[in-house]
Amino acid sequence: MLLSNRMLLLWLLVGLTVLLPGCKTVMEYHLDECNRSEVLADSSATANHATRLHAAGNSDGLYAAYVFDPASYVVCAGRRFRGEGYNADPNNAWYGARYYLEAPDHPDISPLSKVSLFSDGKMTLTGWFKTSGNGTLLCKAGDSSDSCEYRVFVEGGALKVSIWNRYGGASTFTVAAGVANGQWHAFAITARNSFSGTLQVSMYFDGAATGTSSVTNYAGYCEKTTGPLVIGAMNWGNGNITNFFDGVIDEIAMTDDVESSADLSKAYNNQRQHKNADGSSRSCPSCVTGPDHFEFIHDGQGLTCASETVTLRACGNADCSQRFSGTVQVTLPDLGWLNGRIQTLVFPASGEVQLKLKHTTAETVQLGLVNSAPEVVGATRCFIGATQSCALFFADAGFVLEFDSLTGNGPPSGRSCTAVAGLLRAVRKNDDASVCVGDDSFADVTRNVRFWSGYAEPATGTRSLALNGQTLSTASPGTALALSFNAQAAAPLSLRYADAGSVHLYARYDGQEASQDAGLLMTGSTAAPVVFAPDHFVVTSPLNNATAAGAPKLAAGLPFEVTVTAVCGDGTVTPNFAWPTQLSVADVQPSGGRAGVLAPTSLTAADFTAGRATPDLTYSEVGNVTLQAQATNYLGSGREISGSGQLGRFMPHHFRLTRGSLTNRVDSGCVPAATFTYLDEPLALTFTLEAENAANDRTQNYVGAYAKFSGDEDEAAPAGEVYLLTAVDAPGGSATSLGGRLLVDGRQRDSGWAAGSADFSLRLRLARAALPLPPDGPFNDVRFGVVLQDADGVAIAALDLDSDGDGAADSAQAAGAVVLRQGRLRLVNAHGSELLPLALPVLAEYYNGTSFVPHGADSCTALALTDFSFVADPAGLPGANAFTPLAAGAGTLNWTSGPGSPGAVAVTAQLAALPWLQFDWDADASYDNPTARATFGIYKGSERIIYLRETTWR
């Protein structure tokens, strides 16, 4: 019966073990879906898909928006949440947002509750976010009470995580105390809930560990709840949706295990390189099939005798912070469009095209669209500056303001802080309203004309325009300027704007009694906004070393800050600049080196604040580069802005050591190869070093002056270079540290640094125990380790050898294991007839931990007859005339014929070239050559007799 119970218990244990959960991904939201997708896919095996929602109080009718820019976002797209709401056009109105995503309850997304006597509840939760304030990234809602399972949120500038116990109480842990707004951050949270009532939480922020905390004395700490998973808001389990997130969330994932810090670091670096967490590539979706809506940008007035230019803007999202580029067919109202009511328009990256209409009746018309293909989501909007209006008034007479265009068909344009020449022409319609002609009443006269300006894009600004040297107001009735009109009723203008963007210029003349034109009203404006483009970019970074040495310096692959500033020709910053800008590298050093990967390679308009963008970049290679910034076709003007700045010095993040070969008894030339080496005998090993960046990719530019590790005894080591060796027997078990006995006879770099890699070789010896200490060993599992760093402090990252037995790896194993033995050569006395041949044994022995024993593995020790000396007594007796080399540890000195007369020959093996086979034969604390005696003329007796003695008979 006892046996049966044990078998039953064993069966239960085996059965329970089989049922334990394996490590798997239980949640994975990439959040790459397009705006029209109502479902956000969970790509894990759980397939617990989320739905986009908005809470009560939403007034814009929208949802968390798709934001796509492969260069600026983590992996493909992210999801934009707007908190409680936001202000937007028209008239800076308030729109309630309150967006969130929700997935139903599923047992797999509650792994902490799966705790038993035989299994801990385990969880790893990861994600990326960019925030502009407080809010909840995600939570697993509770049942009907004010509790949850887990929640990740930003509060008071800190990222925190809360985990609830089965009694409704929460423990909150701070993941990171300082969360910078407007920047991408990554978090990872691991949790282990044990049956004994201990919850252990480890936290990581932006790839670095930030702490581990534990809570005890809660049996069954985390209970399974039935509430949904919510992303972007807090759900207290009773339908109370609050604490809406304001920012972008991406790549939310969970596994049912505690992931290692190494795996988390690898996933973090992969995603920073815009790859999946496992390092694979992802094909980003192409979501934008058509614009979200259209916007007409116009000046509100036109002339019946001239074509009027309006700008049609295709918006990629609701607030037009993204632009659509592509082909759209539009149908326009019948207002006199020069290219017809139905037009096929190709929108460039700016999302703007210019349309012209000729309306010959003095009246007000309404701009708009009848329809488009593809269709849009939102309604068409129209703007006169910052004012929303679709009304466009046409007059029979007025002013025409003309400024030159760079491209001929684009908007008028110039450079910031530089005057742009133009004309103000007073015109009226001719008899059939087909063309505008000069208004004779303005020929060769001086008139006071009022001017004011309006911001077009952006719609606000802080700097005023100057016309003919006079600062203009930004509202009607404007600033009066005395203009001298020529015979063609035209007056020269000089417009200057110390900022970037596009602006409208408005003109108005009210007739006067003094000029006999009382009651006359003449108005006009620029047909298209005048674009002022910055003169160039100033590109700066604290990482601005242009040389191959010194500071500043940074490990390749780590983030660094760059500032791209748009300026006038005199260096004045243009705070209104915001335009997509491409980043690239040039002038790669070392000369002929490989250009590394720069990330990101573009800036969006939203990245600029007050004319400056301060992105965090990464660069994958070693060396120095020039960072180039370039913006093209600014606001459709055809003007380019560019600039560059120095970046460097980049160095490797770490070295990776690849184990090489180990040659036993390197000087003996053993064939076949020896399987051991004697203590104090040289051996050789090789290994390869590769310089790598933070993403574990080889930095191929670690060459020449940029390679700061020599490792060659024939070269002067750079200041700060460290090159140490360690040795240990039986690491991980009953380890014996041998580093103090390690002797280095040679260090060579076998090849120069090429493409970030170099081969190294070492000649080593492990010394015997110092006399008068007794012999020791054998050491049957000796590993050699390397500890090194270059002059910049770059070291081997993956240490895998514990050389001092303290349980922590302190060096990188350079090659395979080796057997080391203390050896000696022993000569054995021999005697025999002076008339017969004689053989004197020569034996190789090793210490087995107790005594010296024959060394049958030694068939390689090279000895010759000349390695022995002979002293005859009496003189004239010959020495040995032949030697049988060692085989299986044994050889012989041979007298092939007897000397013919009795006597003795003292034999000594001269081991100056093989000192590891010497031994302290006379116990005087110094190593001696072995000796023996060959005696001739002594009968040694029959080998069949074991014992013989004389006895006296009585």
Average pLDDT, consecutive stretches of 10 residues, N- to C-terminus, the chain (954 residues): 38 34 80 79 92 88 69 73 77 80 91 81 92 90 73 93 81 90 91 83 92 73 78 82 92 93 91 87 73 88 82 88 87 90 90 88 89 80 87 86 80 94 85 59 89 92 95 93 91 96 93 82 88 97 96 96 97 97 96 94 94 96 97 93 96 95 94 95 96 96 96 93 94 86 94 95 95 93 95 94 91 94 97 94 96 96 96 93 96 94 96 96 95 87 65 58
Tell me the backbone φ, ψ of residue 270, rounded to 5 degrees.
-60, -45
Cα distances from 680 to residues 106, 767, 855, 948, in angstroms, run 66, 5, 17, 45
Q: What is the pTM of this model?
A: 0.64
Tell me the backbone φ, ψ of residue 251, rounded to 5 degrees.
55, 60
Fold (CATH) for 397-533: Immunoglobulin-like (2.60.40)
Q: What is the pLDDT of residue 18?
A: 32
Ranges of beta strands (E only) in 767-881 are: 779-789, 812-813, 818-821, 823-827, 830-832, 838-847, 852-854, 868-873
Q: What is the pLDDT of residue 10?
A: 35
Domain 25-273 bears CATH identifier 3.40.50.1000: no
Neighbours of 882 (CB within 10 A): 12
Which two three-digit tokens encode residue 280? 């694979």
Instruction: Express each pLDDT in 178-207 by its tens digit.
Output: 898 888 899 999 988 887 778 889 999 999
Which two three-digit tokens encode residue 396? 């029979």
C-alpha span between 460 and 298 (Å, rounded): 16
Q: What is the pLDDT of residue 919?
A: 97
Reference 350, options 377, 311, 384, 319; nearest CA is 311
Q: Concatenated DSSP letters for 106-125?
A: -GGG-GGG--BTTB-EEEEE
C-alpha span between 526 and 467 (Å, rounded): 13
CATH among 1.10.3470, 3.30.300, 3.30.2310, 2.60.40 for 823-936? 2.60.40
Reference 861, options 884, 844, 880; nearest CA is 844
Q: Is the bond preceding 763 in cis, omega lying within 30 degrees of 0?
A: no
Q: What is the CA radius of gyration of the chain?
A: 43
Q: What is the pLDDT of residue 793?
A: 96
| 149 contacts 225 by C-beta, under 8 angstroms | yes
C-alpha span between 290 and 252 (Å, rounded): 28
Encode burial over 786-821: b for 16+ CB neighbours within 10 A, e otherwise.
Answer: bbbbbbbebbbeebebbbeeeeeebbbbbbeebbbb
Secondary structure letter of residue 768 according to DSSP: P
| 218 contacts 169 by C-beta, under 8 angstroms | no
How big, in percent rounded to 5, are the helix, strand and coil portions of the chain?
5, 45, 50
Tell me the backbone φ, ψ of residue 242, rounded to 5 degrees.
-140, -175
Burial class (CB in 10 A: 0-12, 13-18, 19+), 155: middle
Instruction: Express each pLDDT in 770-811 by its tens digit.
Output: 999 999 999 999 999 999 999 999 999 999 999 998 889 999
Which two three-digit tokens encode residue 932? 């023996």
C-alpha span between 650 and 654 (Å, rounded): 12
Q: What is the pLDDT of residue 434?
A: 53
Q: What is the pLDDT of residue 35?
A: 66
Which two three-digit tokens encode residue 128? 């990326």
Question: Residue 212 in 3-state DSSP?
Answer: strand
Tell me the backbone φ, ψ of residue 268, rounded to 5 degrees.
-60, -50
Domains of the chain, by residue range, sit at 25-273, 293-395, 397-533, 536-651, 654-821, 823-936
C-alpha span between 639 and 502 (Å, rounded): 13
Which two three-digit tokens encode residue 198? 């201990």
Instruction: Express each pLDDT in 263-287 by its tens digit.
Output: 999 999 988 888 889 888 887 776 6
Q: What is the pLDDT of residue 2?
A: 36
Output the CATH code of domain 536-651.
2.60.40
Q: What is the pLDDT of residue 116?
A: 76
Q: Concatenated DSSP letters for 18-72?
A: HHSPPP-EEEEE-----TT-SEE-B-STT---EEEEE-TT--S---SEEEE-TTT
| 311 contacts 353 by C-beta, under 8 angstroms | yes
CATH class given for the domain over 293-395:
mainly beta
Cα distances from 555 to residues 583, 618, 620, 702, in angstroms, run 20, 10, 9, 12
Q: Concatenated DSSP letters for 654-673?
A: EEEEEEEEEETTTTT--SSP
Asked if the domains 397-533 and 823-936 are classified in one and the same CATH topology, the answer is yes
Neighbours of 829 (CB within 10 A): 13
Q: What is the pLDDT of residue 285?
A: 72
Alpha helices by DSSP H, listed for 249-343, are 261-272
Q: What is the pLDDT of residue 240?
A: 80
